[in-house]
Structure 1
Amino acid sequence: MTYPLILLLPQLFLWLGHHLTPTFTRITPDTALGQEQAAPNAPILLHKIPIPNQFLTAHAGLSYGGDIRIGDLTGDGQVDFLVYRAIDNFHDGGGMKPCFIGAFNMDGELVWQKGGGGLQPGRPGPVAIHDLDADGQTEVITLFHQDHADADATSFADVDMLLLDGATGRTERHVHPSVFDRIRGEGADWAHQRILVANLRGRSVPQDIVIKLGPHVLAFDDRFNLLWSYESSWHEYSKIPAYVPAVGDVDADGKDEVNGGYFLLDNDGSVLWAEMLGSNMDSVAIDYWDHPTQKRAFGSGYGH
């Protein structure tokens, strides 16, 4: 009999934000042997890995670490964990302006940390793990709040783009894109900020990023140069594009497109089509469906 490797990540990360014990669950095939199975495919709690105490903060009687990203930061072939928090000054505690990031390993040992303070993000925010410069070493791509700028919650004038060495947290690139100074947002859509790794230039590996900031979609190369920008014409709540876009190669030209639910953008940012297909277009994807070599753009509307 074989036992699957199960990480109870979604349940756990929600748990971290609302309960007093800042731990998550690790289940391994070896330790699963011999455990009585109460129900088919039922998970078994076997081990807890603590978030380092240095990474914890407290608010309203709760102790927590923050939102989580997963990847091999140190290059040892083992998964590591990245916890981050954001300043809380907008809708639902949206995590669009990270101010603390900390890395730790499977043993709960601190690897590195940057910044401080912040609260549990109300939405997953703009932090990603990827080898962006294709040098064989993992980096952390993040937006990061800066105290030097006088900006309100709907402005990005106080936010920079950082590329951090995954193993040490050392800053490899620090840029304030001028486009951030003119971008503003409002309403529920502004609380959803994402960084998506993409291949917009047809490289052998993905070395570009797409950032969604409310109604804005921005594309950058691995040096954080702006490639293009797009602004949706839909701004009314329940009648806005997908909170989280999807990237993928729809036309099989070796370059990714961006599916926003109400629009499909080519790799150069040009609009392939734009149409309001349904209210609350919360979920989108690009993947195979009815053809083994042709990907399709999917959208799921009328949700809430």
Structure 2
Amino acid sequence: MKTIGSAMLVMGSLLSVLCSAEQTATLTSVADTGLRDASNTYGSDPYMYIYGASNVYHMGYVRFDLRSLDIHTVVNAQLVMTVSGGAPRNDNLTTGRFAAYGLDNAAGNTPQDWNEAVLNKGNTGLEVNWADGGGTMDFSRIINLDANDGAGTTESIAGGTYHTGTTMTLTGQPLVDFLQSRVDDNGLATFIIRQRDGGGRGYGLATRENPEHSYRPALQITYVPANSPRATDPWPKDGDTITGQMLSRLSWKGWGIDRYDVWFGPGDADETTYQSLLTKIAVIDNPDRDVSAFIPQQMLPLAAPQHYTWVVEGYESDELHSAAIWQFSVSERGRIMENLGRGVVATCSASNQAFISWRLLGTDPEDIAFNLYRKVGDGNPIRVNSTPLTGGTNYQDTGISFTQPISYFVRPVISGQELEASGAFTLAANTPVQPCVVVPLSGGDTDQIHFVWVGDLTGDGEYDFVVDRLNWQGCPQKLEAFTRDGTRLWVVNLGPNSTDTYNIEPGSATIDVGHWDGVTVYDLDCDGKAEVVIRTANGVTFGDGSTLVHSNNNVQFISVLDGMTGAERARIQIPTDYIADGPMAAQMGIGYLNGRTPSIIASMKNRIGSGAFNMMICAWDFDGQSLTQKWKWNRDSGNYHDGHNIRIVDVTGDGRDEIGHIGFMLKGDGT
């Protein structure tokens, strides 16, 4: 990483220190006192007395001087107060007995440069009304840092109950924001300590005069110095190696700058070449502290393996102040996922309105927005929304007439730039009011449809349909495929071993009874067209008319079918560990167990007589030609509780999926 400025170039090890930016310091209070009455002062005492009852409160004032640190931005902080002993009362201490507030700079408040030698209840400002209940806080004049009041801070008490050396530690964003406000003013920060719950309880907190140095009030503050680089803490980190398909944004910490210009591209670039070798991808005006720039969609997914350089230029009043240069490498492309479009659909939801929805993709950035367009008849498209749509992927379009065909499509908006249009969905003229999109299935079976699976069978980027056909009168089940407009592609007859529909122990080719499915649809070989995966057995006839033949009706297989024809492309036998107890029912799914390519998962069970159940989970890979078993896991006598469904998700955050049942989780390697 390098940082360049308008007047200097900083490189090497010194640069890495400078660009880490954040520094941490611990300050001791410069003034502190306990306020007990309107005439006496206690600024020289080694403790401040914190007491609360129904009609009297004694409080502490503590001031820190932040000016010596040359702070530009406060990043984190914690206030630490310590019980000293020696107070008139030394009662048990709980979170309700300690509250902290920040003194605002409002007119009429105690000035920030108050003198501990003279401050008492008689000369404080308007932040406390001592006549009301013995000391009521005016929350319009102070910053509430009390965790018990839900201000977002974290309050912890080491020791739990009173003893000398017990510490009260306060952290959180409200504390950071209060200190930042004091930095931006005069650098003096005053805290007011109060016993919140009353009850006639009190204790002493050490002051800066306490002989035990470790007990004195302390403020640990992490900050960015005013003279530091204005872009730090990059993500990806400088020198990182990542899997890049899911990377869609670059982020960093920023401060004290009017504008950032962001450059990005493949290869190496330095301070003399980046403007000619890289592409400017973003201009960010008036940035917040947490800043990010989206990688343009036309650059995604990132190539692999590949080295990338990115530069963040910081401008003040249109003059270059500094530029940070970072680099990272992409080792592989990450998950190879389905190449899907936006899936725009629309319905006539009322006589003069349409409901439109579309798909959010897994690679979309979090703050993506959309523009929705309407085209009536042969007219030109008109944008429906006045500002880009955020927070959802649906819209209710009102005040329209259905006398002509109406088409809708969307354009994503990323970093203020409108991208290419999606495919369009057309509502025919005089479309009736209906709550859903109706897809008539042409030429299909008439048996009941129980489940529908979606997948891009045709390769056009939109979902088609696979449906089951269940006959409960002892006839074989079927599986049918249709394009998204309802055109029938093929049918698979599951044969005589699908006629047993007992949901506890179904036939070896039976699908979709009880909580079992036995079918899933996904693009397994990543060629842009989805395959159909099904558990099969003797007697299944595929979409091309071929039939699976085996002498043992209990032997089962995993078959991968061509999504367009229903022909069997590959087959592998399911392990027969428990075949003595009959065929196994299956729940099926897809998981990225290696973090890159999809695998087939099946959780299967059969029953030992009328008693306990055998359980087996297997994973297989399909390479476009054949199936291979990845691993097998048997529950046997282990105490692993399953439920009526499985979840396949990356719970560890390493990019590889795990397989979860209700009472246990398997790693991607089957352990």
TM-score by length of 2: 0.28
Alignment match, 2:633: 230
Q: Supply the distance in 1 between the matched residues of 2:638 and 2:644 (Cα, whole angstroms).
A: 12
One of 639, 642, 646 as aligned partner of 1:241? 642
Q: Cα distance 1:174–1:88, how it changes in 2: closer, same or farther (>3 A)?
A: farther
Q: Give unmatched runs, 5+ long, in structure 1.
A: 1-26, 58-63, 271-304
Deviation of 1:83 after TM superposition, in Å, equals 1.4
2:346 matched residue in structure 1: 29
Partner of 1:103: 481
Q: Show the counterpart of 2:660.
A: 259
Counterpart selection for 2:578 from 183, 187, 195:
183
Find the counterpart in structure 2 of residue 56 from structure 1. 446
CA–CA separation in structure 2 for the residues paired with 1:233 and 1:44:
51
Q: CA deviation at 1:125?
A: 0.9
Report the Cα distance in structure 1 between the residues aligned to 2:470 and 2:438, rounded to whole angstroms: 25
Q: Which contiguous aligned blocks of 4+ residues in structure 1 show a shift greater than 4 angstroms? A: 85-89, 116-120, 184-187, 233-236
Counting only pairs closer than 5 Å after superposition, residues 25-174 of structure 1 correspond to structure 2 as 28-32=345-349, 34=351, 44-45=434-435, 48-57=438-447, 64-85=448-469, 100-115=478-493, 121-123=512-514, 124-147=516-539, 148-149=549-550, 151=552, 155=554, 157=555, 159-174=556-571
Partner residue of 1:202? 595
The verdict on how the C-alpha distance between 1:44 and 1:54 changes in structure 2, with shifts beyond 3 A counting, is closer
Task: Map Cα deviations across residues 232-289 of structure 1 (whole Å, 9 max, x no partner).
Answer: 25699xx94122221112222221111122221111111xxxxxxxxxxxxxxxxxxx
- Report the CA distance between 1:82 and its aligned residue: 0.8
Q: Which of 216, 231, 237 is equivalent to 2:616?
A: 216
Structure 2 distance, partners of 1:33, 1:88, is 38
Query: Match for 1:77: what amino acid?
Result: G
Cα distance in structure 2, aligned partners of 1:33 and 1:52: 27
**Which amino acid in 2 is paired with 1:243?**
H
Residue type at the aligned position of 1:216: M
SS for the counterpart of 1:73 is: coil
Length-normalised TM-score, structure 1: 0.58
Partner of 1:16: none
Cα distance in 2 for partners of 1:150, 1:235 equals 33
AA of the residue aligned to 2:536: F
Name the CA distance, whole Å, in 2 between partners of 1:150 and 1:170.
Answer: 21
Q: Which moved more, 1:109-118 or 1:248-257?
A: 109-118
* Matching residue's letter, 1:241: D
Assess if the C-alpha contact under 8 Å between 1:196 and 1:247 holds in 2. Answer: yes
User: Which residue in 1 is equivalent to 2:78?
Assistant: none
SS in structure 1 opposite 2:618? strand
Q: Secondary structure at the match of 1:227?
A: strand
C-alpha distance in structure 1 between counterparts of 2:558 and 2:494, whole Å: 17
Q: How much does 1:221 deviate?
A: 1.6
Q: Is the 8 A contact 1:258 1:264 kept in 2?
A: yes
Distance 1:46 1:107 in 2: 14
| Structure 2 counterpart of 1:221, one-letter code | D
d(CA) in 2 for partners of 1:73 and 1:134? 12
Instruction: Tell me, yes or no, if the aligned pair for 1:102 and 1:111 is still in contact at 8 Å.
Output: yes
- What whole-Å deviation, never above 9, does each CA across 1:154-175 have from its counterpart, x for those lacking one? x4x1x22111121222322122
Check 1:150–1:66 CA distance in 2 against 1; reply closer, same or farther (3 A cut). Answer: farther
Corresponding residue for 2:155?
A: none
Take 1:229 and 1:88, find their aligned partners in 2: how far apart are those partners? 33
Assess, with a 3 A threshold, how the Cα gap between structure 1 residues 73 and 233 changes in structure 2: closer, same or farther: same
Superposed CA deviations along residues 38-93 of structure 1, whole A, max 9, x for unmatched, are xxx9x944664333444223xxxxxx24432122211223432111247979xxx9
SS in 2 for 1:133: coil
* Structure 1 residues 255 and 79, CA gap change in structure 2 (3 angstroms): closer
Per the TM alignment, residue 194 of structure 1 is displaced from its structure 2 partner at its CA by 1.4
* C-alpha separation in 2, matches of 1:268 and 1:109: 40
Q: Partner of 1:251: helix, strand, or coil?
A: coil
The answer as to whether partners of 2:469 and 2:480 remain within 8 angstroms in 1 is no
SS of match in other structure, 2:627: coil
1:200–1:257: 8 Å Cα contact kept in structure 2? yes
Once the two structures are TM-superposed, the CA of residue 105 in structure 1 deviates from its matched residue by 2.6
Q: Report if the CA contact (8 A) 2:347-2:437 is conserved.
A: no
Task: Say if 1:107 and 1:175 are closer, same or farther in 2 by CA, change over 3 A.
Answer: same
Name the SS for the 1:103 alignment partner. Answer: strand
Answer whether contact 1:75 1:167 (CA < 8 A) is retained: no
Quick one: distance in 2 between partners of 1:197 and 1:231? 19
Residues 100-128 of structure 1: CA deviation (Å, up to 9, x unaligned): 22111343321112225656832351111
Query: Which residue of structure 2 lines up, in the alignment, with residue 275 of structure 1?
Result: none
- SS at the partner of 1:225? strand
Contact 1:83 1:102 (C-alpha < 8 Å) held by counterparts: yes
RMSD: 3.8
Tell me: CA distance 1:184–1:262, structure 2 relative to 1, closer, same or farther (3 Å).
Answer: farther
Contact 2:512 2:518 in 1 (8 A): no
| Percent identity over paired residues | 24
- Matched residues, number: 215
